[in-house]
Structure 1
């Protein structure tokens, strides 16, 4: 089906162009070029009136970058040339459709924008003195037909990309418990107990509310908010755990610090309330794990880290979470330095052992809510949730030093010292996660060009 579209649609563009005179197409191209800024202003002005569209366009960088991109798109779409490569024109529209799917802009919002842009072009055509009355009708007909074909190409790419993302999203939802269920259950039960024990100790010491450990920021809380809640999405127990965590952090902890130290009965009642909420979380967590089984597809077979398969799903999910919660996350792009020489000198078995030991170092360093990927070869990526630039750089430097100190074990009782280069980028609120990935890649390139075994960000 995709091949049929690839072959048929460029021919439609060419046939459409041939139905109008070269003189008319030249005039429409001139109008688009002359009024591109006005049309982009009109387009975004109208789109910002739509509450749903405004959610995607309110970010300052989006407005700045997309305004220029819209001007380029208008000029390219209506550009007049007898030798136009219509396959390239269609590919351009397809790329735009892919981006819309990636940042999760609903297609009806895109079509709404196209309708508004048609109206903007109609206003430009209506007041242009270089067009005869008969030409105005033909010009608007050409504009409408070109816009419709552009939207058709965008929609086809959008649907294909959205279907792929949806399949990956569902696969990830089932997979994202991501380990042996029994082991993960014990790990999270222990994390929940650690938080509870720490809380009781801090309470006994009489610390203020600001000093008490919030469950949302604990190892368990990070895991549940960023992984568990997604893995178990739709289950009523998930909402119950989220509500209990919110009640603890927003109601019980502040209330506990306000209780007079000498009022033993009040403090005992408060501790019982905390204990009941913790028991509720533990009960629902047990139920959730009982309902799910292990799914191993999507994990890198060698390192057991997440594979590239789920990178787009996780990135999109964290971008949406950051937008809702007004938090930030960091991406660390990591390369093992001169890895090819390890394979060449010691063999691929030794290279595999280095990759496995490096993955173990990563797993020992990251928090429960963070994500670790092997992208392929010696390329790795960390996504650090709920963090700051300073904290992310500290983790990156800590990882670099840990690798530098580690003696990597090779076959025949040999060992090897290796280093890594790391590029760090913070998510800046832009809805397209590819920008953050590219920034991390650029920082990694800088770290490698500066001599390797360093962090850049």
Structure 2
């Protein structure tokens, strides 16, 4: 979730106050300080009388600290005079929002409390201000409360999203294999990139021809999967920084770079070797923290199931918004699958699905995602890809599957698949993307099967 810059919030806060006369703001500040305790008492009396909010509050909590905190919040909300005061107030709203998320107070309850406070404050303002100015004072009071609650709720959403990611991270991590197998696979992918770089340098490739770590098998896997699974860990941040630093240094290693001598090139090469060695060490540390949880994986194929599809799609939509890259969704359905079960039995059908899942995994990149949606329907998410490459990948998979002999107890059989392809178009909601891919799959099935259709 995008954070609002502090400078923007300060400007909004100051702009709100400046719309009203200084004497009104000053008098409102005095009233808030004088009646803060009474307003807090009225606030909690009403909240405790409501069954929904009373489940999160009790009288002992109010007496032991909440009343004092609320009184202080009301008094300081209208007391900001300087730029530093406003900044401190904004930081306070962020802290309160993070606390609300940590103790799981619903946003609806916070909004209800704000409405209650504004009603009580309006009564006090009307009693304290002359008729000519009480409406202005009430408008300023409501505006400041609303802005404070907006900042508070935004901080709540950030913390809530972070907590949700932490709860599901390890499940997302074990996408198709156990931790031990994934560890060896990614170490091998990192080594493979290192070997490709050495070969490119030995061949005298120019700087723009050197393979980047970020776009390698390991880089795609780490940026799209592991970085989400281990978000917040210092090891994860260090690996991402190392990937960035290595790729920034690649232009210096090409023949067109300023480092011409063998000694200079050797020095840079040693730096890359040390950086990749550090990545391997940090990677081992991350895997030691991981646990192999089966929740979220299809029992038969070991692919992800529908449970985590919203999480992955939401993450990729956010990644696209931040990076400017795109991703594609492939809906894959086995043609005429029912006759396989009817003719050869469900055991044969299960074996076909398992082999198909393995084929999809072996022919996609480390950062891509593979799901079994149910029955004979699968879904692939191809990350960091443009429409032309996505279609080429879909066609390659379709042809590969059509040529593959699938082993069953009775021998071998051949099958085909229909594929619907949709590329993310920047829409913030991923559901239209799935609907477009589903419609494309429908067109492929009803257009003769064994074909790819691209959603418009």
The answer to whether the superposition gives a TM-score over 0.5 is yes
- After superposition, residues 23-102 of structure 1 pair within 5 angstroms as none
> Is 1:359–2:357 an aligned residue pair?
yes
Unaligned runs of 5+ in 1: 1-50, 53-105, 116-154
- After superposition, residues 218-297 of structure 1 pair within 5 angstroms as 218-250=216-248, 252-257=249-254, 258-259=256-257, 262-297=260-295
Structure 1 residue matching 2:208: 3-state secondary structure = helix
* 2:431 corresponds to: 434
Q: Report the RMSD for the aligned CA atoms in angstroms.
A: 2.6
Summarize the Cα distance change of 1:279–1:316 in structure 2 as closer, same or farther, 3 Å threshold: same
Q: Which moved more, 1:402-411 or 1:315-324?
A: 402-411
Distance across 1 between alignment mates of 2:403 and 2:233: 45
Q: Which runs of 4+ in 1 moved over 6 A?
A: 165-168
How far the C-alpha of 1:358 sits from its partner, in A, is 0.8
Deviations 1:300-353 (A, max 9, x none): 000111101100000000000011000000000011011122212221111111
> Is 1:346–2:330 an aligned residue pair?
no
How far the C-alpha of 1:177 sits from its partner, in A, is 2.2
Summarize the Cα distance change of 1:234–1:262 in structure 2 as closer, same or farther, 3 Å threshold: closer
* 1:64 corresponds to: none
Distance across 1 between alignment mates of 2:162 and 2:379: 22
- After superposition, residues 258-337 of structure 1 pair within 5 angstroms as 258-259=256-257, 262-337=260-335
Structure 1 residue matching 2:282: 3-state secondary structure = helix
* 1:180 corresponds to: 178
Note if contact 1:335-1:378 (Cα within 8 Å) is conserved in structure 2: yes
TM-score when normalising by structure 2: 0.63
State the number of aligned residues. Answer: 303
Note if contact 2:404-2:414 (Cα within 8 Å) is conserved in structure 1: yes
Summarize the Cα distance change of 1:400–1:203 in structure 2 as closer, same or farther, 3 Å threshold: same
Deviations 1:240-289 (A, max 9, x none): 00111101112x11122254575122111111111121112111111111
How far the C-alpha of 1:190 sits from its partner, in A, is 0.8
TM-score when normalising by structure 1: 0.63
Bigger Rg, structure 1 or 2: 2
> Is 1:450–2:440 an aligned residue pair?
no
* 1:148 corresponds to: none
* 1:374 corresponds to: 372
Structure 2 residue matching 1:216: 3-state secondary structure = coil
* 2:399 corresponds to: 401
- After superposition, residues 134-213 of structure 1 pair within 5 angstroms as 169-178=165-174, 179-213=177-211
Unaligned runs of 5+ in 2: 1-7, 10-105, 116-152
Distance across 1 between alignment mates of 2:193 and 2:339: 45
Structure 2 residue matching 1:183: 3-state secondary structure = helix
Distance across 1 between alignment mates of 2:268 and 2:316: 35
How far the C-alpha of 1:421 sits from its partner, in A, is 0.4
